[in-house]
Structure 1
Amino acid sequence: MQTTVAAVTMVRDDPFFLRIWLDYYGTRLGRENCYVVNHGRGAGVSAMAAGCNIIGIPGEHHKNFDMRRWRLLNNLVMGLRVYYDHVIVGDVDELVVVDPAAGKDLVPWLAAIPADRVLTPLGLEVIHRIDLEPEPIAGKVLGPRRHVRVAPHYSKPCVISAGTKIARGGHFASHDKLHAPDELYLFHLKFCDFPAYVEVMNARNAVAAATGVGVKEASIGRHWFAEARGEDRALFEGFAVLPKLEGFQMGPYRRRMHRSFKPRGDTGFWEFARPDYNEQHELPERFLGLF
């Protein structure tokens, strides 16, 4: 399959999310345009991602894991940009999605986007309403899961067609213009399934513990540490009490992004306000079955 779009992620022994990532991007871009950094050279990752461009790297645990990871991803994205019009980069539990109301899927939609831009989708966190959604995720995520909350923390500058530098974690870029198209979303899947969440967090806690340092000494996301985890079931039960807003009006959230867009101090990066929104929305039918 010929395409002008590539997708890049890094993964370590995370089959639940890797399967979803591969099904989504592999179908749309062709696996030959998917780049999977296999941290630790896991045989399971290599087998599942067969047909992709697999980059095996050593798997030792390091307190500066996130810093190292984004240094690698930055350079990989900038190299691939020479050969692709757009490069999508992000964690394995993140998917960039075009609203079906646009009438186009991801690749044809991006084909109409001018080059030399950095696109920032609006972040939507899929939440598992364990009180309403007892069925497991066996194939598609959206359908069994229908509820999201707006998550500015995951409104990431992640579709790259310009020379830029991305900050650790992928949350900021050095690009000084904000392009946040109305049709573009980033779905974050960390909380999309309670059993999967428990399994993944157990694995991440083990990785963090293997570094031998605590939260304050490490360049790793705080959520990787057992001391910052909290009680899993209470977290998911809390989703039920989030106020539910009628309709699916996302324009106000994007307008707040634009109004607050500014330099991030003297770091060379740009940012917008990232408040916590404690409301939930039910996805319109048109999104169900996309992944």
Structure 2
Amino acid sequence: MKSAFLTMVWKEEFFLRLWVQYYGGLVGRRNLYVISHGADARTAEIAKGCNLIVIPRDPPDAHFDDTRWALLSDVASGLVRIFDRVVVGDVDELMVNLAPDQSLLDRLEAVQGSITAPAGYELFPQDDALIDEDRPFLQQCFKGVLSGTYSKPCILTEPARISAGGHGSATWPQIDPMLALLHLRFLNTREQVTRRAQRKAIADQATAGSDRDQGAFLRGWRRAEQIRDKIAHQFNSAPEISSAEAPGRVGAILDDARQRKNGIHSFNLRKVRENDVRLVLDPRLRDLF
């Protein structure tokens, strides 16, 4: 089976390095595709050996995320004509197989359907201490709250159309709760703290004077700290479940939360939140990255 991984970045050094190390270790850098939104020497250095595609860095506008995901959908749909599986997503999301005795590639090979959504989890630190970047991150941050937002249809076996943010698809997705998509934006790294402030500035510029100012566009960037507090509350109040328990329970939650709105299939966030659970990764998975 041939698998490829695709992402898009702009000066995301920390997460790009982690993304390349993790997925490159599985399939080799030659099967990684990185779209750089603007030329950047550090991105080129970190992505050395990968397939780097540099596009012009035009000023962001209110339609930036729609354009970005239309591009990612098109590139992923092209790649899946060559590869058996294509995984597309943001650089701060990494996918793991919850079965400790199987690799991620083993599970991807078993995927059925044209597009599949893993179960998404917001990893959250236990305290405010900075991550020790010389140790595996999952040893330090190994719990995550279930997220309908990040249960993204991101595994393609055929060409597909993915909506803005990667949060939905035009095609009805399969759900594979044995796969966990871990969203890493709340890791306490020095770079990430700085990045949060930068993203807010970009989003404020992009939506200035727009009637989408209070809409969905870049809401996660503009209201980063408010969202962080909200996720922290969900994380702290959710009951814990083990990696072994998660697939059965979470699969039922996500299946019950399916929705179709404006031609896009996704998950009803309210229904997912009504059944919040906090995943505890098996200790055998905590050395993956």
**Same fold per superposition (TM over 0.5):** yes
The answer for the alignment partner of 1:49 in structure 2 is: 47
The whole-number CA distance in structure 2 between the counterparts of 1:4 and 1:154 is 25
Question: 1:225-244 to 2 correspondence within 5 Å?
Answer: 225=222, 228-230=223-225, 241-244=236-239
SS of alignment partner, residue 180 of structure 1: strand
| 2:97 alignment partner AA | V
The answer for the alignment partner of 1:284 in structure 2 is: 282
Structure 2 spans left out of the alignment, 5+ residues:
none
The answer for the alignment partner of 2:106 in structure 1 is: 108
The whole-number CA distance in structure 2 between the counterparts of 1:95 and 1:157 is 14
Q: Does 1:151 align with 2:164?
A: no
Q: CA deviation at 1:111?
A: 2.7
Aligned length: 281
The answer for the alignment partner of 1:140 in structure 2 is: 136
Q: CA deviation at 1:67?
A: 1.2
Q: Does 1:269 align with 2:260?
A: no
Specify which structure has the higher proportion of strand: 2
SS of alignment partner, residue 193 of structure 1: coil
Q: Does 1:92 align with 2:108?
A: no
Q: CA deviation at 1:81?
A: 0.9
Question: 1:1-291 to 2 correspondence within 5 Å?
Answer: 4-63=2-61, 64-101=63-100, 103-114=101-112, 116-130=113-127, 135-176=131-172, 178-193=173-188, 195-211=190-206, 213=208, 216-217=211-212, 220-225=217-222, 228-230=223-225, 241-245=236-240, 247-248=242-243, 249-250=245-246, 251-264=248-261, 267-274=262-269, 275-276=272-273, 279-291=277-289
The whole-number CA distance in structure 1 between the counterparts of 2:47 and 2:254 is 35
| 2:147 alignment partner AA | A
| 1:144 alignment partner AA | Q
The whole-number CA distance in structure 1 between the counterparts of 2:224 and 2:204 is 13
Q: CA deviation at 1:184?
A: 0.9
SS of alignment partner, residue 250 of structure 2: helix
1:1-41 residue CA offsets vs partner (Å, 9 max, x unmatched): xx611100000001111111111111111111100001111
TM-score (norm 2): 0.87
Paired residues of 1:99 and 1:185 also in contact (CA < 8 A)? yes
Paired residues of 2:240 and 2:277 also in contact (CA < 8 A)? yes
Q: CA deviation at 1:262?
A: 3.8
| 1:289 alignment partner AA | D
| 2:31 alignment partner AA | N
SS of alignment partner, residue 49 of structure 2: coil
Q: CA deviation at 1:213?
A: 1.2
Paired residues of 1:260 and 1:273 also in contact (CA < 8 A)? yes
SS of alignment partner, residue 181 of structure 1: strand
Higher mean alpha-carbon deviation, 42-51 vs 254-263, is at 254-263
The whole-number CA distance in structure 2 between the counterparts of 1:182 and 1:142 is 19
Q: CA deviation at 1:110?
A: 2.1
The whole-number CA distance in structure 1 between the counterparts of 2:154 and 2:286 is 23
| 2:85 alignment partner AA | H
Paired residues of 1:8 and 1:36 also in contact (CA < 8 A)? yes
1:67-116 residue CA offsets vs partner (Å, 9 max, x unmatched): 11011111101111110011100000011211233x321223323434x5
Q: CA deviation at 1:208?
A: 2.2
The whole-number CA distance in structure 1 between the counterparts of 2:23 and 2:111 is 19
Fraction of identical pairs, as percent: 29
Paired residues of 1:6 and 1:87 also in contact (CA < 8 A)? yes
